[in-house]
Structure 1
Amino acid sequence: MKRFIAILQFMTRIPINIDVGIDEDFHKSITYFPLVGFVLGILLFLVGTVSMKIFDPFITAIIITLSSVVLTGGLHIDGLGDTFDAIYSYRDKEKMLEIMKDSRLGTNSLLAIMFVMLLKIGFIYSIINQGFMWMIIFMPIIGRLGMIRLTYKTVSPRAKGMGNLFIGKSTTSMFITAITYTIAIIALISKLMFNSSTILLLKILISIVIVIIFNQMFKQHIYKKIDGVTGDILGCSVELGEVIYLLYIYLMIG
């Protein structure tokens, strides 16, 4: 429980007035990445439910997307922007790493953030219109499960960095544990709370495979650029993983 609270404080801006600190075993909290996503997913669903009583589906989609950014303090959005500014600057490795640390917003960063936000709003709007707003619960869960792939048997090109707390620290047992309880959460919510069919449940579970495969490809792409993974890359993978999940659900129910 202590590690879960610690990682929840680290990855979100949810006010939890408990001082648990960060110790030398903090990397073991990697297992709880999807559980943090579950907390966020439930909150986003509640926000969406309340919003739908006041606004139309389009405004609700915007509010859900905005709430996701607010609840995480823009942590992953920042990683998305820094990653696109650096990786697609077409400079050498050292310059890319330097750009990634630069707090200024570049054109690639602006475009990446804008289009990711627009895609999220569009897909969420369509999903709500189809009557499947409850599937938004799984978006942050699967996005953070996919991020574990980038902490498994990876290295950092930097000697120091926030991402080094996790990069290369995930074990096979951590990964399997996270996948197992993610499947359990999705199954319980789908079947018990929303009475979905077994076929629909299986289709949703396929999104786990798709996002993990995407992150494997993303990791290989990044390795060709900077020979490793950084904290910004981890954050970027969450945002892209969530978009991939929403795209898959959009195509599945369309």
Structure 2
Amino acid sequence: MSDPNGPVRRRRIAGENKPAAPAAKPVVPKVPARKAAAKKAALQKAAPPAAPPARTVASPKTRPAKTAAPAADADSGSGSDLDLRRLLPAMLLALVAIVAGVLLTVMGVQNVRGEGGNEALETSREQAVSAASTAATTIFSFSSDQLDEHVSASKALMTPSFAKDFDKVAPALTEVTANRRIVVKAEALEAAPLACGDECSPSKVNVLVFLDQARLVGAAKQPTVFANRISVSMVKSDDGWLVDNIRAL
């Protein structure tokens, strides 16, 4: 029977053991708050850093292709333009050298003209220069159909000794012009007396002559021009200034 003032106790049945005592609950030791925080911080420090999130790599198909810069951008122009650029400086240098050479030659001729102070000597030299220009034009101009006239006219402008030397080379003109029509026209472009130093003489002058020869062969209409530079030795005689020698320079 139950007691209204307390729990009801059940009667044991014969042979029933006594009920086991309830197991004791384990006691968890309490850790102070400061020690727990320090332990947590130490664990976080010892733990390896988290790996960064993986990047999503775009597929090669979706990535826009790079456009290669054209080779011409490094140096604009075609191959021929590049060749011209390399050659142009060399061509300009060659042209400058030619012009400088011509100017120096002309200046040298002008300086030679001013050499000396004797008025009679200067007059003789000027006459020799004029005679040398005329003689060179005559001697170096000829036509294949008038060789005899050419030889006679040339020898008339020479000293007897040099005329003999000219007779030795005159037959070569006949051989060269055999069965061919050849016309050569010479022109003295510039002439001046060469320096004579202490050997200047009013009766003998060496003259520098720049001579062009325009040659026509056969039925050609455009002549071939040859530029020559010669030294003409002029000697004064009773017949005027005569050619005593000619040397190619």
What TM-score do you get using the length of structure 1 for normalisation?
0.25
Give the structure with the higher percent helix: 1
Give the structure with the higher percent strand: 2
What TM-score do you get using the length of structure 2 for normalisation?
0.26
Structure possessing the higher relative contact order (Cα contacts under 8 Å, 6 or more residues apart): 1
